[in-house]
Amino acid sequence: MEKQKFSFTVYHADQFGKQQNCLYPHEGTATTAEELKPLLCNDHVFIRFRGNYRSKSNFVQAITATFDCDNDHSDEPSEWIKPEDMPVIFPGVRCFTDTSRHHMKQKGGRSPRPRFHVTFETDIFTDPENYAAFMKKVQGMYRFFDDGALDAARFFFGNPDAEIRFFPGAMTLTEFLAEEEAARVFAELGESIPEGNRNNTLYKGAVKILKLWGDTADTYQRYLKLSGKCSPPLEDDELERIWQSALKFYRGKIACSPDYKDPTAYNAPSPVQWEMPIPFEQTALPEFPVEALPTTVLDYVLAVAESTQTPMDMSTSTALAILALCEQGKFRICGKADWTEPLNLFVVIIEEPSERKSAVIGFMTKPLNAFEAEYNRQNAAELEASKMNKRILERRQRALEDKAAKGKVEDFELEQLAQQIALYKEKMPLRLYVDDVTTEKLTSVLANGGGKAAIVSAEGGIFDMLSGIYSKNVNIDVMLKGHSGDCIRVDRIGRNSESIMNPALTVLLTVQPNVLSGMMQNGTFRGRGLTARFLYCMPTSIIGRRKYRTEPIPAEISGKYELLIRNLLEEEQSPEPEEITLSPEADMLLESFSAEVESRLKHDYADIADWAGKLVGAVLRIAGVLCRASVIRSTGFLDEPEPLVVDEQTMQNAISIGRYFTEHSKAAFSLMGVAALVKQCRYVLDAICKSGMVEFTRRDIMRQCRSFKTADEVQPVLNHLAEYGYIAPRGNDAPAGKGRPSGQVWLVNPCLYGKVS
């Protein structure tokens, strides 16, 4: 193959096939297929990451965009896309293709077929969100690209057998898309063309119109329509001269090019390729950044996800709460001189029934249950002796009170016994967490647990308790103060007074969406800040893709996880929590993140400002949890442990997790109620299905749905239905102006009637 003049930069690892690896320390640049091949043998990325550590938060720069083409869109070989099709589909765009590991092999129950990657040169991207949006835009235009491979921290498995093809071109993909878009926009130009720019603007417009529509009478009418934008108008002979010049350039330079696609074929309406519509509630949410977890925890959560065939987000979010449960009350993390945070967390995972929530919690809490049972078994005699001593003191108290009533007791005897009773603290069995509990009982659990408690439940019954299902009164104080660490004082008739100075409560719940919706719609919960204290996780279901035969959790991996949990639980709790500090680099990262969040509170985060206002504090807590969980500390009495300091990478990991929970929390808060637009969409869909429409116009909908009074009320609903795949416009003619004309015909997705085209 002829060597090309352009180059591509690759960052590659030392191994291949390692999904958990995030480090790509080697950089190489290639200008030919021969130079590129050795760079693609190991796992690699085309994005530059800070410290060569792959994660969205480390995104520095991308000047290429790589897409997957697995040809899963069709089982018909004649419809498969091949590497040699790229210069036809993207004429003049420089790129290269490399075949993937599964090229022409059986994969996922599908027959062997071309499977390859396409890497285009693009403009420079320095923001991962913009980059991901660009990738999504391209995939939306070219549906044969895999829609599940658009992440801004994507890596590619190495393939020593890759077949590589370079394709020359004068344009980047960004320039190509801009030109295509400009051609359409220019033809619909809605502004006037001022004097001084008329000739040049009309000439360029005429060329673009010819390129897009060809040399036809209709094209000339488009040109005349464009000329009507000139202010003041041009003379007819001047308009004709400009047209002829553009026509000459089109015929001599564009139409004769071998890469030029005939406009007749280009503009011919193509049949709609129907797919199942997207549910209105469905949103594309990021996956948990597993690389941010300590290695021991990372290995275990991946093994649990494989064994239970559950979304990885479920086990990772659970693990974070379990670590917080083990560390709460023993540590505080210092953000700055006058600001510290405890390490307890509130985490809620939202999943439908049959998602194996209980199985995941069972695996993650297994070491807790074992530790608790072992502790209580080893201390059974001491626990029983403590109960006996308490009963003895109580009997002595009653006997002494009877004697005192008869005047037969000296004052010093009463004072001595009163002091013994006041100082006596019954030794309670270890209880690391509770499940079904009332708020009143939870206060006692906190008091008996030395100020520490946790709720771990695969159901959301606690919200019913908090709502007052038994007492008919909303009581959430213990939850609010348990999260923040504020003193809890309870004085009620019929109960002993309880005072908990530094409570630490961790909550881990897995609930169904309807439970969360009820929680979000409770005005007291949100008004008093309960909903703002939770970290929300909404995993993408894998039901329908779960395997029966799975890999069991390796004993070595589960053993290391159990050792870590035991090490955290065995650490003694001091009268004052140990303080975790920040390195200067971590401090700067947190300051920068705080400034970013603050700047977005009134705009991007306006709908969840109450939640986002606590985000920086949550990230600081997560950093502390990760810091302690990253080491195994000696629990010997004479051992002096090393001070815990959050380094730059740990803070970066905590921020990555914070960004993950931000996106999921935004989705969770949207469950507060169905948006008015979605309600209108359901109203229109119901009318379509009841009437059996297969196609319709806007006027048809207004006749069926009398609640719409104007066309402007209907159009956003139709646009939304089209965006989600329920309907599609018939034909390719793009209308001028805003929206679509009232005569536009819309086609109905046959899936609504149980038919798949």
587-618 pLDDT, tens per residue? 999 999 999 999 999 888 887 889 999 999 99
pLDDT, one tens digit per residue, over 473-529 is 556 888 899 999 888 876 654 445 667 888 999 999 988 776 766 666 666 787 788
How many CB atoms lie under 10 A from the CB of residue 704?
A: 17
Residue 264's pLDDT is: 56
Predicted confidence (pLDDT) at residue 414 exceeds the cutoff of 90: no
Instruction: Identify the pLDDT of residue 564.
Output: 96
User: Domain spans of the chain?
Assistant: 8-177, 188-267, 290-379+430-672, 380-423, 676-753
Q: State whether residue 149 is helix, strand or coil.
A: coil
Q: What's the rounded Cα separation, in Å, for the pair 365 and 357?
A: 12
The pLDDT of residue 283: 60
Residue 676 is predicted with a pLDDT of 59
Q: Where does the pLDDT of residue 460 fall: very low under 50, low under 70, confident under 90, or very high at 90 and above?
A: low
**DSSP-assigned beta bridge partners for residue 27:** 11
Share of the chain above pLDDT 90, in %: 34
Alpha-carbon gap, residue 599 to 91, rounded angstroms: 42
Helix, strand, coil in percent for the chain, rounding step 5: 45, 15, 40
Give me the chain's average pLDDT, please.
Answer: 84
Q: Taking residues 352-381, what's their average pLDDT?
A: 91
Q: Are strands 193-194 and 230-231 parallel, antiparallel or unpaired?
A: parallel
Q: What is the DSSP letter of 197?
A: S
Pairing between strand 26-30 and 8-12?
antiparallel
Strand (E) or helix (H) holding 116: strand 116-125
- In 3D space, the residue among 329, 437, 448, 446 whose CA is nearest the CA of residue 386 turns out to be 448
Dist CA 471 CA 481 (whole Å):
20
**Which pLDDT score is estimated for 504?**
93
Q: What's the pLDDT score for residue 405?
A: 78
Is residue 737's pLDDT more than 60? no
Instruction: Find the helix or strand (DSSP H, E) in which 468 lies.
Output: none
pLDDT (0 to 100) of residue 535 = 95
Alpha carbons 219 and 221: distance in angstroms, whole number: 5
pLDDT of residue 521: 62
Q: What is the pLDDT of residue 331?
A: 95
256 burial via Cβ count (<10 Å: 0-12, 13-18, 19+): exposed
Confidence label for 732 from pLDDT (cuts 50, 70 and 90): very low
Reply yes or no on whether the pLDDT at 9 is more than 60. yes
Q: Residue 229 above 50 pLDDT?
A: yes
Q: Calculate ∠ Cα 689-693-696, nearest 5°.
A: 125
Write down the pLDDT at residue 573. 80
Q: Which helix (H) or strand (E) holds 341?
A: strand 339-342
Lowest mean pLDDT among 2-16, 74-88, 392-406: 2-16
pLDDT score of 18: 84
pLDDT at position 318 is: 96
Q: Which CATH architecture has domain 290-379+430-672?
A: 3-Layer(aba) Sandwich (3.40)
Question: What does the alpha-carbon distance between residue 209 and residue 377 come to, in Å, rounded to a whole number?
Answer: 84
pLDDT value at 42 more than 70: yes
Q: Out of 9-13, 122-126, 465-469, 657-661, which region has the weakest mean confidence (pLDDT)? A: 465-469
What DSSP string runs through 559-601?
HHHHHHHHHHHHSPPPSSPEEEEE-HHHHHHHHHHHHHHHHHT
What is the predicted pLDDT for the residue at 674?
Answer: 45
Q: How far is CA 260 from CA 89, 92, 248, 720, in A?
A: 10, 10, 16, 34
Q: Is 673 a residue whose pLDDT tops 70?
A: no
Coil, strand, or helix at residue 418?
Answer: helix
Among residues 588, 609, 595, which one has the least CA distance to residue 651? 588
- Calculate mean pLDDT across residues 557-586: 93
Sequence-ordered list of residues with C-beta below 8 angstroms from that of 256, at least 6 positions apart, any chain = none
Rounded CA separation 144/416 (Å): 85
Half-sphere exposure of 132 (CA within 13 A, CB side): 15
d(CA 720, CA 620): 39
CA distance 142 to 169: 19
| Torsion of Cα atoms, 566 then 316 then 129 then 81, to 10° | 130
Q: Quick one: 151 exposed, middle or buried, by C-beta within 10 A (0-12, 13-18, 19+)?
A: middle
Q: Which residues pair with 534 in a beta bridge?
A: 346
Is the N-terminal amide bond of 716 cis, ω within 30° of 0? no
- Tell me if 71 sits within 8 A of 115, measured CB to CB: yes
- The amino acid occupying position 624 is G
- pLDDT value, residue 471: 46
**pLDDT of 186 higher than 90:** no
Which position has the token pair 């969770």?
668
d(CA 49, CA 131): 13
- Tokens describing residue 180: 């295509």
Residue in this structure with the two tokens 């019913």, named with its chain if needed: 464
Q: What is the pLDDT of residue 461?
A: 66
Residue 157 token pair? 């498995």
Q: Which residue has the tokens 């004429």?
A: 91
Q: How far apart are CA 726 and CA 748, in angstroms?
A: 6
The strand pairing partners of 156, in sequence order, are 44
Q: For residue 652, what are the CA distances in angstroms to 53, 124, 318?
A: 11, 23, 20
Our CA angle for 630, 631, 636, nearest 5°, is 155
Peptide bond into 232 cis (omega under 30): yes
What pLDDT is recorded for position 185? Answer: 46
Model confidence over 147-182: pLDDT tens digits? Answer: 877 888 889 999 999 999 998 887 889 878 876 665
Cβ neighbours for 454, distance < 8 A, ≥ 6 positions apart: 325, 328, 432, 433, 434, 505, 506, 507, 508
The architecture of the domain spanning 676-753 is Orthogonal Bundle (1.10)
Among 219-223, 278-282, 450-454, whose mean pLDDT is lowest? 278-282
Run of H or E including 629 = helix 615-629
What is the C-alpha to C-alpha distance for residues 145 and 147, in angstroms, rounded to an integer?
6
The stretch 351-375 carries a mean pLDDT of 92
Tell me what pLDDT residue 733 has: 44
Helix ranges, 125-252 (H): 128-141, 173-187, 198-213, 217-227, 236-249
Q: What percentage of the chain has pLDDT greater than the value 70? A: 87
| Distance (Å) of CA 514 to CA 12, 510, 519, 582, 666 | 45, 12, 9, 40, 16
Residue 166 φ/ψ, nearest 5 degrees: -95, 140
Q: Between 584-600 and 648-669, two packed helices, what is the crossing angle to 10 degrees?
A: 20
The SS3 call for residue 304 is helix
Rounded CA gap, 254 and 261, in Å? 10
Half-sphere exposure (CA, 13 Å, Cβ side) for 214? 11
Is 172 within 8 Å of 152 (Cβ atoms)?
no
* Burial (CB count <10 Å: 0-12, 13-18, 19+), residue 601: middle
Instruction: Among 50-59, 268-277, 504-513, 737-746, name the one with the lowest average pLDDT.
Output: 737-746
Q: Is the separation of the CB atoms in 9 and 46 below 8 Å? A: yes
Picking from 122, 103, 121, the residue whose alpha carbon sits closest to that of residue 113 is: 103
Residue 727 β-bridge partners: 748
| Cβ atoms < 10 Å from Cβ of 100 | 19
pLDDT, tens digit (0-9, with 9 covering 90-100), for 695-712: 898 888 988 898 888 888
> Which pLDDT score is estimated for 642?
86
Q: How far apart are CA 753 and CA 286, in angstroms?
A: 32
Dist CA 350 CA 328 (whole Å): 24
Task: Over range 290-316, report the average pLDDT.
Answer: 94
Determine the pLDDT at residue 258.
64
Burial class of residue 390 (count of CB atoms within 10 Å of its CB; 0-12, 13-18, 19+):
middle
pTM recorded for the entire structure: 0.55
